[in-house]
Amino acid sequence: MKIPKSHPRYASLMARRSIERGVRTGITSLGGLAAQGRGEAFDYLIGEKTTKSAKKSIEAAAALLFLAKNPVISINGNAAALAPKELVELSSSVPAKLEVDIFHASKGREIRIKKHLIRSGAKKVLLPDKNTKIKYLESNRKYVNKEGIYRADVVFVPLEDGDRTEALVKNGKKVIVVDLNPLSRSARKATITIVDNITRAVPLLIKTIKRYKKSNEIRLQKIIKGYNNKKMLKEALKEINKNLGRSK
Ligand code: PTJ
């Protein structure tokens, strides 16, 4: 069925379609469907738009990525289905490495995600390696690539499960997450949390990084220093409360 562009839920239905296609083509896990549903519910609550506080988080995240020495973008089955071209463009504009890291272990899915990113324009995509592990993690996501997440100073993990965010921070990394749920463990454990839909946040990150290329380092350092993640999460919750109040 073709979804008309005029449909009031066009963006949401298209995203759902991308996830369904991701599952059918073996890129996204079945668990990814549940994650998408949870995300959609929170997107309703934030008003399906990039909020003021999310814009502030995007500014800080772009500065952190841009000034990083070895930034890495971590890709799972949902991120690969929802924003492959945008994530590849982000990786070349920072520039940052791309690494596939999935929660539901499957070598086949790792390879299919890598191929999907290459088809979307990526030149190089790293895969986790069973001989390289990060500490403080039991799940499949403890395996990382030696050239990628293992030695990264900043890791961008759109749409994450909380355990790994916490472990990456304990491993001394600065972690940026995109999570529509401001109450999630990843949201609370990350260095910078962008409470927004990955489909809106990544294009804005690309735009902001382009703007920063004309900026100076001191100004960007100031943006990072002035950023307070707890405050941004509180603001996100306030925005949700305001939206709930409106519907009464
Ligand atoms: O491909 P794999 O095996 O690595 O699996 C990926 C998922 C996402 C299934 C896995 O990491 C997982 O189970 O994640 P969780 O614990 O369900 O967390 C996903 C979080 O992402 C939830 O807090 C959702 O609200 C949020 N979320 C879902 N869709 C979006 C989103 N955040 C931003 N943009 C979205 N489109």
Which residue puts its alpha carbon closest to atom 34 of ligand 1? 197
Spatial contact of 191 and 175, defined as CB atoms under 8 Å apart: yes
From the first residue on, what is the mean pLDDT of each consecutive set of 10 residues in the chain (248 residues)? 83 93 98 96 94 97 98 98 98 98 94 98 97 92 95 94 90 97 95 98 98 95 98 97 80
Which structure tokens are listed for 237?
């919750």
Best residue among 179, 188, 199 to mutate for probing ligand 1, ranked by most atoms within 8 Å of CB: 179
Q: How far is the CA of 215 from the centre of ligand 1 (A)?
A: 33
pLDDT tens, position by position, 187-235? 999 999 999 999 999 999 999 999 999 999 999 999 999 999 999 999 9
Task: Please tell me the predicted confidence (pLDDT) of residue 146.
Answer: 97
Q: Is the CB of 190 under 6 A from ligand 1?
A: no
**Is there an atom of ligand 1 within 6 Å of 38 CB?**
yes
Cβ contact 60:192 at 8 Å: yes
Report which ligand 1 atom has the smallest distance to the Cα of 15. Answer: 36
Ligand 1: which residue has its CA nearest to atom 7? Answer: 32
CB 219 within 8 A of CB 31: no
Q: What angle do CA 105, 200, 44 make, to 5 degrees?
A: 90
Q: Please tell me the distance between residue 181's alpha carbon and the centre of ligand 1 in angstroms.
A: 10
- Closest listed residue to residue 21, CA positions, set 80, 107, 105, 99: 80
- 180-198: burial string, b at 16+ Cβ within 10 Å, e else: bbbebbbbbbbbbbbbbbb
Phi, psi of 148 (to 5 degrees): -105, -110
Residue nearest to atom 16 of ligand 1 (CA): 161
Residue nearest to atom 32 of ligand 1 (CA): 179
pLDDT at site 247: 57
Q: Model's pTM, two decimal places?
A: 0.96
Query: What residues are paired with 74 via a beta bridge?
Result: 99
